[in-house]
Amino acid sequence: MKTKIVPRISETEWEVMRAIWARHPASANEVIERLQEVDPTWHPKTAKTLLTRLVKKGALGFEMEGRSYVYRPLVAEADCVAVASTSFLDRVFGGSLQPMLAHFVASRRLTRRELDELKRLLEDDAQKGRKS
Amino acid sequence: MKTKIVPRISETEWEVMRAIWARHPASANEVIERLQEVDPTWHPKTAKTLLTRLVKKGALGFEMEGRSYVYRPLVAEADCVAVASTSFLDRVFGGSLQPMLAHFVASRRLTRRELDELKRLLEDDAQKGRKS
DNA sequence: CTTCATGGATTACAGATGTAAGCGTTACGC
DNA sequence: GCGTAACGCTTACATCTGTAATCCATGAAG
């Protein structure tokens, strides 16, 4: 499962990508609306600039639909998540998974439901695919 | 437990900070050595530039010791880790902890030891401090 | 037809980042 | 004493980022 090469996506660009991954294709205005739902300070012009940049980077594609563009992702969210996660893990925790997990578990109150869910994940992991 | 204000630390700067948090105070050359142990392509001049920038940002302090400087962190690693972690979580997982943990658990093979350790963490978390 | 609103294209611009090279001073080896 | 290696200080510079504003073409409204 080699990770595809994905363009580098900046902090702000991530917000735009997430808006599009959520539902696509999406017009610029749809994207802007979604962004503003989360953060009303988003300026339309700024969003447009980022869309253009993401196209240039190869992260997004677009087609004319009527009088305007609709955008769609050209890179899979899962791939970008994988790349960003590895980068974060290396950078902040020196690549050590366990301390990182410990940090997050300790830093947030998880609901009972989430704890159970997570433990289930660990159980599954422990059961199957264990080599050693 | 309010998080202190920490300067923004870039990707590359993190490597430098981690080298210093590991053991300090440390001279520029010590830092460079540590960096090169991990990645031999580190150029001394580049490292020096970053040290200077980190001082300017207020992330590092230094004192003259003999003929050269020794640097020490002015920001706690834990604080920087907390800030970077929250930022990452928001950016990549929209702030949802559980999917993020699921991703990491699924993406890496954890050792039996690590699994147990993690489950113990979850148990502790479940036991104490649960509000709802 | 003419005007205006709308959306894409182009331009702006400062600050952050990655990656160093060059300059100047000075303690140390000869 | 004198040249040289070491260090810190200053400068370089192309990109990337964040954040928009302006320009331009065209379809829609009147």
CB A17 within 8 A of CB A77: yes
Tell me what pLDDT residue B129 has.
Answer: 53
Peptide bond into A25 cis (omega under 30): yes
CB A75 within 8 A of CB A58: yes
**Among the partner residues A15, A92, A117, nearest to B81 by beta-carbon distance:** A92
Chain A window 22-81: residues with CB closer than 7 Å to nucleic chain C are: 27-29, 45, 48-49, 52, 67-69
Tell me what pLDDT residue B2 has.
Answer: 64
Q: Cβ of B93 and A110 within 8 Å? A: no
Compute the C-alpha angle B76/B94/B80, nearest 5°: 5
Peptide bond into B25 cis (omega under 30): yes
For residue B108, the 8-state DSSP code is: S
pLDDT digits (tens, 9 = 90+) for B42-62: 999 999 999 999 999 999 999
Give the distance, in angstroms, between residue B35 CA and nucleotide D3 C1'.
32
Whether pLDDT at B12 is above 90 = yes
| Across B12-41, average pLDDT | 96
Whether pLDDT at A130 is above 60 = no
| B4 against A47, higher pLDDT | A47
Q: Cβ of B92 and A14 within 8 Å? A: yes
Residue in chain B nearest A80 by alpha carbon: B92
Q: Cβ of A87 and B11 within 8 Å? A: yes
**Residue B8 pLDDT grade (very low, low, confident, very high; cuts 50, 70, 90):** very high
Query: What's the rounded Cα separation, in Å, for the pair B123 and A102?
Result: 12
Average pLDDT over chain A reads 90
**Among the partner residues B14, B110, B132, nearest to A92 by beta-carbon distance:** B14
Tell me what pLDDT residue A2 has.
Answer: 65
Nucleotides on strand C lying under 7 Å from protein C-beta: 7-12, 16-22, 27-28
Whether pLDDT at A131 is above 70 = no
pLDDT digits (tens, 9 = 90+) for A84-122: 999 999 999 999 988 998 899 888 777 788 888 888 887
Residue carrying the six token digits 């460079």 = B32
**In what side-by-side order are the strands of the sheet with B68-73?**
B26-27, B68-73, B60-65
Query: What's the rounded Cα separation, in Å, for the pair B32 and A66?
Result: 57
**Interface predicted TM-score (ipTM):** 0.88
Q: Determine the angle formed by the axes of helices A77-93 and A11-22, rounding to 10 degrees.
A: 150
- How far does Cα B46 stand from its chain's mean position? 19
Tell me what pLDDT residue A132 has.
Answer: 42
